[in-house]
Homo-oligomer: A and B are copies of this chain.
Amino acid sequence: MKMHLDCAQCFLKQAARTGRLLGCDESCLWDMVKGCGKILSQINHQLPPPQNAVSLYDMISEKTGLDDPFIDIKKESTKEVLSLYPELKEKIEGSTDPLEAAIRLSACGNVIDYGTSSSFDIKKELDKALEGHFSKWEYPDFVNRLNEASWILYLGDNCGETVFDRLLIERLKRPVKYAVRAGPIINDVTMEDAVDAGIDLVAQIVSTGCRAPGIILDWCSDEFQALFQSAPLVISKGQGNFETLTECGREIFYIFKLKCNVVADFLGLPLGSMFFGRP
């Protein structure tokens, strides 16, 4: 999925919002705007937004001098959702269909923006999760594919959300390889973050070999590309993975919330709705 004009404005918003989140003063925030302007002046709009976002977050790291600007936010959101783990597990196990409940909660995990929301918001979202509106819901097909699959490749997304992934993986009852970013970018999950969430207890954690906040296959390691092509079933979390995989040619079951108009328009589905299935 290539860049939309609105993505350019979103890049500027992300630069300013991230700067504020990191406590930058006004002069530093303007440095970020200027840095983002330079990136936009040279942008290749044929690429997916998460691919261009790598330069954006590199620029933010450079201006702030922080290699992993979101580290505290990542640790905190993992800790926060981990504290809800027993309650979430009980909710899933008490459901008529625990696998379905785990998928719905996992989509809910993508709803929450851990960079900005409070624990109150997370709990509120959880209460709504099992009744949340899915504009795409391919559960029966997924169950068929799952029954045929000897193992699953699960593409991770954000920290905190990882705990919901862990709960879903526990219900898949199959060996799972859980793919993480090769290095820190935004609040995306890395090897260390996945271990913090206890993913190592339920899956084998593998690196994509690439630091982008999505799956840019050309930039991924040969090992990961081989896994991606050979996996009997792929589950992908979040918009970033979706945006970068729309042209990949293989079947993927995506789980995400439609968080922006560009993706909602691309799919022809309502903004804010949740997606589970194949486009």
Interface of A with B (CB < 8 Å)?
5, 8-9, 12-13, 16, 29-30, 33-43, 45
Contact = CB atoms under 8 A, between A and B. Distances in A.
6 contacts: A12-B40, A34-B43, A35-B41, A36-B40, A37-B39, A37-B41
A223 to B, nearest CB: 36
A9 B5 contact: no
A26 B43 CA distance: 14
A33 B40 contact: yes
A207 to B, nearest CB: 32
A12 B33 CA distance: 12
A150 B16 CA distance: 49
Contacts of A5: 16, 29-30, 33
Nearest to A27: B45
A121 B24 CA distance: 43
Given A33-B40, A40-B40, 10 more contacts: A5-B16, A5-B33, A8-B16, A8-B37, A30-B45, A33-B43, A34-B43, A36-B40, A37-B41, A38-B38
A16 B12 CA distance: 14
Nearest to A8: B33
A227 to B, nearest CB: 35
Contacts of A42: 34, 37
Nearest to A5: B16
Contacts of A41: 34-35, 37-38, 41
A42 B33 CA distance: 10
A227 B38 CA distance: 41
Contacts of A40: 12, 33-34, 36-37, 40
Contacts of A33: 5, 8, 40, 43, 45
Contacts of A12: 8-9, 12, 40
Nearest to A16: B5
A40 B30 CA distance: 9
- The 8 lowest CB-CB distance pairs between A and B, nearest first, are A37-B40, A37-B41, A38-B41, A37-B37, A8-B33, A5-B16, A30-B45, A9-B12
